[in-house]
């Protein structure tokens, strides 16, 4: 529709020009009469015409210029009006699209003011568990938020700048639905104007599943899946934080103590009853540990059958010892597993932050104390002592020398025989002095020329697994040596005794190793006597029985070494295919003085006779011991009284020269007879 100003303005301009021209003409004529009184009529009209033309032209120019300016203004206004109308249309379209987007959005959106719900999109209604917006309009926002998070909600709504249009800090709430389900929601809120007033628009995203997965990932990353206890990573972190808190507080470092724990004979359960039973046992152990410790203590499973406990706020030096004793005692009660019961002990190492105020040294000390507890017989607790570190360093140095020696031994390098060698101690008939066999004993001399006692390096070889290679080498070498001696004239009845380690005996191909040693050497199987300890025999009675029967099927003889120091029963001795009982030296030491040792030695000899087993006394060192053992009816013996362990060369020389091996004690009647 045309603007009226386009029509009306030229008319008003023309009238204005006419009025101005008339007034101007009047003034002009008056001025002309005064200033130019002598002009003729025609001259006066000519001047008037010229002046009028100029004025008319100026008036026309002004009118046209005004009209052009107005036209330009009208065009500009029309363009602005069109733009405004277009913007309004676009705004309405944008609002429609935004509303449609909000309505169809999978993210829940709500608008609230002063804690009251004004609007919720369909996704929000579904999240809340309602059907109709009218059911929730005007409801309190707090009624939908879990009580644990209401304070957080109110804090966000009252935060500085809450009345300004800006986005609030994101947060996570626990949302309570109409049917009382709890959802974890991530919320992003922004201040807006709604219906002309300030309000808050909140977008809620259900992160319940995400939170659950994160919780599971955290659980898996920092907790043991089998027992639910903290794992090594989390335990280490807690120890570190405990030490930092203690340093900041300035309290005595003895208020933080770490216990390292290791189950005794767990492998036996795992191997005999299966991994499922082993897992069940670990779960039961975890429960007992939690029951034996305080609620504020941290209990962790470090891996395998190793556990740890962190004690904080320890008030007395004796408290960790009491906790350790409680743990040891609670493990003494048998564990019911699948219709049977199993017994396992536990060894505990104790370390205080007073000896090490950093995480790594503290954990190392606890591990050293645990190792000492296991070395002292298991089923006990031992507190860390600074001397243990020196022992550990020495042990590492020994291991560093032993490992390459064993590797060269496997490669059959001759120079290593100067370091690792086998010596042989004769076993004699106590009544005739005839040598009935020898026991192969391992010896090691370090590269620096210093010999290392077997009770020092054999446990190191056991712990590192080197004992398997060492034991195999000793077995092969002893069998070959026995055949070589027989070729030099040794009696064909002399047996070769070889000690077996726990790890060697439990190797899957051990029976094959024995068979190969016999076959490759040509040794008569009945001349090989394999010695196992009571502890090894009882570790896993069922699998041990199967393996012993397999060995017996090869024709070898089987002996129980250090008998009397373990916990085997008569029923097991009757069940196992045992040929020989070797009486431990600890009983022989006191046998000449009577008393308990003599009674035990007599009982073992009597037991052996009743079961048709040969008895061998170990560690005979004097004539009184010999006579007492003869009186008890013991058949065979060995010890320094008869001979120290001899090298293979020394025995070979005795065979080449037909004379006797000298005894260390001349009172023992006839000298030892090695030759037939």
User: In this predicted model, what pLDDT tens digit does every residue of 399-442 receive, in sequence order?
Assistant: 999 999 998 887 776 556 678 999 999 999 998 888 999 999 99
**Integer Cα distance of 477 and 179 in angstroms:** 79
423-656: CATH class: alpha beta
For residue 418, what are the contacts with CB-CB under 8 A and spacing of at least 6?
445
- pTM of the predicted model over 0.75: no
What are 259-310's pLDDT values in tens digits?
999 998 887 788 778 889 899 999 999 999 999 998 889 999 999 999 999 9
Tokens of 298: 């941290």
Q: Which helix (H) or strand (E) holds 171?
A: strand 171-176
Q: Is the pLDDT of residue 671 over 50?
A: no
Residue 586: band (very low, low, confident or very high) from pLDDT cuts 50, 70, 90: confident
Q: Kindly state the average pLDDT of the residues 433-455.
A: 92
The whole-number pLDDT of residue 663 equals: 46
Q: Kindly state the average pLDDT of the residues 65-74.
A: 72
Task: Provide the CATH topology of domain 223-385.
Answer: Alpha-Beta Plaits (3.30.70)
For residue 6, what are the contacts with CB-CB under 8 A and spacing of at least 6?
70, 71, 74
Whether residue 574 contacts residue 610, with contact meaning beta carbons closer than 8 Å, is answered with: no
The whole-number pLDDT of residue 252 equals: 65
Q: Is the pLDDT of residue 44 over 70?
A: no
The larger pLDDT score, comparing residue 2 to residue 575, is at 575
The whole-number pLDDT of residue 661 equals: 47
Of 48-52, 252-256, 459-463, 663-667, the range with the highest mean pLDDT is 459-463
Q: Kindly state the average pLDDT of the residues 495-513.
A: 93
**Integer Cα distance of 111 and 189 in angstroms:** 9
- Lowest-pLDDT range of 145-154, 208-217, 513-522: 208-217
**Integer Cα distance of 540 and 545 in angstroms:** 8
Whether residue 185 contacts residue 175, with contact meaning beta carbons closer than 8 Å, is answered with: yes
Per domain, the residue ranges of the chain are 5-100, 105-211, 223-385, 423-656
Residue 664: band (very low, low, confident or very high) from pLDDT cuts 50, 70, 90: very low
Report CA 416 to chain centroid distance, whole Å: 40
Residue 59: band (very low, low, confident or very high) from pLDDT cuts 50, 70, 90: low
Q: Is the pLDDT of residue 666 over 60?
A: no
Buried b (16+ CB within 10 A) or exposed e, 295-321: eebbbbbbeebbbbbbbbebeeeebbe
Buried b (16+ CB within 10 A) or exposed e, 56-84: eeebeeebeeeeeebeeeeeeeeeeeeee
Taking the alpha carbons at both ends of the chain, their separation in whole angstroms is: 143
Residue 667: band (very low, low, confident or very high) from pLDDT cuts 50, 70, 90: very low
What are 385-403's pLDDT values in tens digits?
999 988 888 888 999 999 9
Q: Mean pLDDT score of the chain, rounded to an integer? A: 84
Task: Provide the CATH topology of domain 105-211.
Answer: Beta-Lactamase (3.30.450)
Residue 668: band (very low, low, confident or very high) from pLDDT cuts 50, 70, 90: very low
What are 154-180's pLDDT values in tens digits?
888 886 555 555 678 888 999 999 999
Residue 529: band (very low, low, confident or very high) from pLDDT cuts 50, 70, 90: very high
């Amino acid at each position: 529709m045309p603007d009226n100003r386009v029509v009306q303005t030229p008319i008003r301009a023309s009238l204005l020009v006419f009025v101005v021209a008339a007034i101007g003409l009047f003034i002009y004529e008056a001025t002309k009469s005064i200033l130019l009184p002598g002009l003729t009529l025609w001259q006066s009209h000519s001047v008037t015409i010229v002046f009028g033309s100029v004025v008319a032209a100026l008036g026309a120019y002004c009118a046209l210029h005004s009209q052009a300016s107005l036209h330009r203004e009208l065009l500009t206004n029309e363009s602005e009006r069109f733009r405004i109308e277009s913007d309004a249309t676009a705004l309405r379209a944008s609002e429609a699209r935004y509303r449609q987007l909000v309505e169809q959005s999978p993210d829940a959106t709500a608008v609230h003011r002063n804690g009251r719900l004004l609007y919720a999109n369909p996704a929000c209604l579904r999240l809340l568990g309602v059907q109709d917006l009218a059911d929730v309009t005007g409801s309190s926002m707090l009624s939908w938020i879990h009580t644990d998070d209401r304070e957080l909600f109110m804090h966000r709504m009252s935060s500085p700048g809450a009345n300004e249009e800006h986005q609030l800090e994101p947060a996570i709430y626990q949302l309570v639905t109409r049917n009382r389900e709890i959802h974890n929601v991530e919320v992003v809120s922004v201040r807006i104007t709604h219906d002309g007033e300030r309000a808050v628009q909140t977008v809620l995203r259900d992160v319940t599943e995400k939170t659950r997965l994160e919780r599971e990932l955290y659980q898996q990353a920092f907790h043991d899946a089998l027992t639910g206890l903290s794992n090594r990573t989390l335990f280490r972190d807690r120890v570190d934080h405990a030490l930092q808190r203690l340093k900041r507080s300035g309290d005595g470092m003895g208020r933080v103590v770490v216990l390292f724990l290791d189950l005794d004979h767990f492998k036996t359960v795992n191997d005999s009853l299966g991994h499922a039973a082993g897992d069940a046992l670990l779960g039961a152990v975890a429960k007992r540990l939690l029951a034996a410790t305080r609620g504020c203590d941290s209990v962790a499973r470090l891996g395998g059958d190793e556990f740890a406990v962190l004690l904080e706020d320890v008030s007395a030096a004796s408290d960790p010892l009491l906790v350790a004793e409680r743990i040891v005692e609670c493990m003494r009660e048998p564990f019911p597993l699948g219709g049977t019961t199993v017994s396992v002990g536990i060894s505990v190492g104790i370390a205080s932050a007073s000896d090490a105020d950093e995480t790594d040294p503290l954990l190392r000390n606890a591990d050293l104390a645990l190792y000492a507890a296991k070395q002292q017989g298991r089923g006990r607790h031992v507190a860390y002592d600074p001397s243990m570190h020196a022992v550990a360093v020495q042990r590492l140095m020994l291991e560093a020398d032993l490992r390459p020696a064993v590797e060269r031994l496997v490669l059959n390098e001759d120079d290593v025989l100067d370091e690792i060698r086998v010596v042989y101690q004769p076993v004699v008939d106590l009544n005739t002095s005839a040598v009935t066999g020898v026991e192969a004993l391992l010896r090691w001399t370090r590269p620096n020329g210093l010999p290392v006692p077997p009770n020092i390096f054999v446990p190191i070889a056991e712990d590192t697994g080197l004992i398997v290679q060492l034991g195999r080498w000793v077995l092969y070498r002893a069998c070959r040596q026995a055949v070589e001696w027989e070729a030099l004239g040794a009696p064909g009845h002399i047996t070769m005794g070889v000690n077996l380690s726990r790890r060697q005996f439990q190797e899957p191909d051990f029976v094959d190793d024995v068979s190969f040693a016999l076959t490759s050497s040509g040794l008569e199987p009945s001349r090989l006597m394999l010695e196992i300890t009571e502890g090894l025999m009882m570790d896993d009675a069922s699998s041990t029985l199967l393996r012993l029967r397999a060995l017996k099927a090869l024709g070898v003889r089987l002996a129980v070494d250090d008998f009397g120091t373990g916990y085997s029963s008569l029923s097991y001795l009757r069940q196992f295919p045992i040929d020989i009982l070797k009486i431990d030296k600890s009983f022989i030491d006191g046998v000449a003085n009577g008393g308990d040792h003599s009674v035990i030695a007599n009982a073992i000899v009597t037991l052996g006779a009743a079961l048709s087993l040969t008895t061998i006394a170990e560690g005979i060192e004097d004539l009184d011991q010999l006579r007492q053992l003869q009186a008890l009816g013991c058949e065979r013996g060995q010890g320094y009284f008869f001979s120290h362990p001899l090298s293979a060369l020394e025995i070979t020389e005795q065979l080449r020269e037909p004379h006797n091996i000298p005894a260390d004690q001349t009172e023992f009647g006839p000298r030892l007879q090695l030759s037939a």
